[in-house]
């Protein structure tokens, strides 16, 4: 069942969404060649605590850190580490989720480190475009599958692939709630959107022609592309309003 949030709950989701957006903006200038992903993690943890919030990923189903950092061929759920140093030409997705006053806000962006090849820059740009194409479909009375349909229509032109094993999700008191949000077109998402629904849109786009991914046997978390191609992702938490959509994780 998809939860319809009350006015009071929506106000709290606005607050936590804003904090998540501020956190991502705060860490962005530190995403530079030579820094470790653990350093980014620790900065985020500190900022979150100072703002009276909690890092939702920490201990979530045993996840060991406060944020996810996913470099190059890592699709999602990369674990920050002292030994993982950002290099010139890398792309890295930083995914932050904060818990404030009982509610979650979830957002991510892929950042460029130094000189990134033009074709990889294009992947990142187009992945962000795809996120907004999807979000722009959202309005009360429309079907949720319009989100995936718009993303697929846009992305298919480039020969990229849309990851299928992970999707967006309802969000609120729980980190992950119903509905599941596919980023490709499927009638499984034949859910009518109603004002007060809150969910994420977070397409993961692989540069290669395969959407197949694998999870690390070693750490149980890190998801990589099977073909080794690079993967980008952007994420927002959004609210269905009476008139359309409101991005809660935008500054
Ligand atoms: N932030 C991710 C999402 O967008 C989920 C991370 S789960 C974790 O849904 F355990 F890896 F943190
Ligand atoms: Co996220
Ligand atoms: Co999410």
The domain that holds 90 is classified in CATH as 3.90.230.10
Query: How far does the centroid of ligand 2 lie from the alpha carbon of residue 163, in Å?
Result: 15
To the nearest whole percent, how much of the chain has pLDDT over 70?
100
**What is the torsional sign of CA 222, 169, 20, 162?**
positive
- Quote the CA–CA distance of 116 and 134 in Å, as a whole number: 26
Q: Judge whether 65 lies within some domain.
A: yes
The tally of domains found in the chain comes to 1
Query: How far does the centroid of ligand 1 lie from the alpha carbon of residue 175, in Å?
Result: 8
In the numeric block, the tokens 């740009």 are attached to 125
**Cβ–Cβ under 8 Å, residues 214 and 166:** no
DSSP, collapsed to helix, strand or coil, labels residue 76 as: strand
Closest CA to ligand 1's atom 2: 95
What's the mean per-residue pLDDT of the chain? 98
Half-sphere exposure of 132 (CA within 13 A, CB side): 7
In the numeric block, the tokens 């890190």 are attached to 222
Q: Judge whether 133 lies within some domain.
A: yes
Q: Which domain holds residue 12?
A: 7-247
74 lines ligand 1 (CB under 6 A): no
pLDDT of residue 26: 99
77 lines ligand 1 (CB under 6 A): yes
pLDDT of residue 40: 99
Strands across the sheet with 223-225, in order? 74-76, 223-225, 213-215
Q: Judge whether 1 lies within some domain.
A: no
Cβ neighbours of 171 (radius 10 Å): 25
pLDDT of residue 155: 98
Q: Judge whether 23 lies within some domain.
A: yes
pLDDT band at 159 (very low <50, low <70, confident <90, very high): very high
If you count DSSP H runs as helices and E runs as strands, how many of each does the chain have, helices first?
4, 15
Q: Rounded to two decimals, what is the model's pTM?
A: 0.99
pLDDT in tens, 162-176: 999 999 999 999 999
pLDDT of residue 2: 97
Q: Which atom of ligand 1 is nearest to the CA of 200?
A: 4
> How do beta strands 198-201 and 161-162 pair?
unpaired
63 lines ligand 1 (CB under 6 A): yes
**Average pLDDT estimate for 221-244:** 98
Q: Judge whether 2 lies within some domain.
A: no
Q: Judge whether 160 lies within some domain.
A: yes
pLDDT in tens, 24-83: 999 999 999 999 999 999 999 999 999 999 999 999 999 999 999 999 999 999 999 999
Q: Judge whether 157 lies within some domain.
A: yes
97 lines ligand 1 (CB under 6 A): yes
pLDDT of residue 172: 98
pLDDT band at 239 (very low <50, low <70, confident <90, very high): very high
Q: Judge whether 196 lies within some domain.
A: yes
Closest CA to ligand 1's atom 7: 57
Which of 16, 54, 60 gets mutated to test ligand 1 (max ligand atoms within 8 A of its CB)? 60
pLDDT of residue 201: 99
219 lines ligand 1 (CB under 6 A): no
């Amino acid at each position: 069942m998809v939860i319809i949030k009350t006015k009071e709950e929506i106000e709290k989701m606005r607050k936590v969404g804003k904090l998540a957006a501020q956190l991502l903006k705060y860490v962005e200038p530190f995403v530079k060649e030579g820094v470790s992903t653990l350093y980014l993690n620790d900065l985020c943890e500190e900022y979150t605590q100072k703002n009276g919030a909690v890092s939702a990923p920490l201990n979530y189903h045993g996840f060991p850190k406060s944020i996810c950092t996913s470099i190059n061929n890592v699709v999602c759920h990369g674990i920050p580490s002292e030994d993982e140093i950002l290099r010139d030409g890398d792309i890295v997705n930083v995914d932050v989720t904060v818990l404030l006053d009982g509610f979650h806000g979830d957002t991510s962006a892929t950042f460029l480190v130094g000189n990134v090849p033009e074709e990889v820059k294009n992947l990142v740009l187009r992945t962000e475009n795809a996120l907004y194409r999807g979000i722009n479909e959202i309005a009360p009375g429309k079907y949720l599958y319009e989100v995936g349909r718009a993303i697929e229509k846009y992305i298919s032109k480039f020969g990229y692939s849309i990851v299928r094993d992970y999707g967006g999700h309802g969000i609120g008191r729980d980190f992950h709630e119903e509905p599941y949000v596919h980023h490709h077109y499927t009638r499984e998402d034949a859910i009518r959107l109603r004002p007060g629904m809150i969910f994420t849109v977070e397409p993961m786009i692989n540069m290669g022609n395969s959407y197949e991914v694998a999870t690390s046997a070693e750490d149980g978390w890190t998801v990589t592309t099977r073909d080794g191609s690079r993967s980008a992702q952007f994420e927002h938490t959004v609210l269905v309003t009476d008139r359309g959509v409101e991005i809660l994780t935008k500054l």
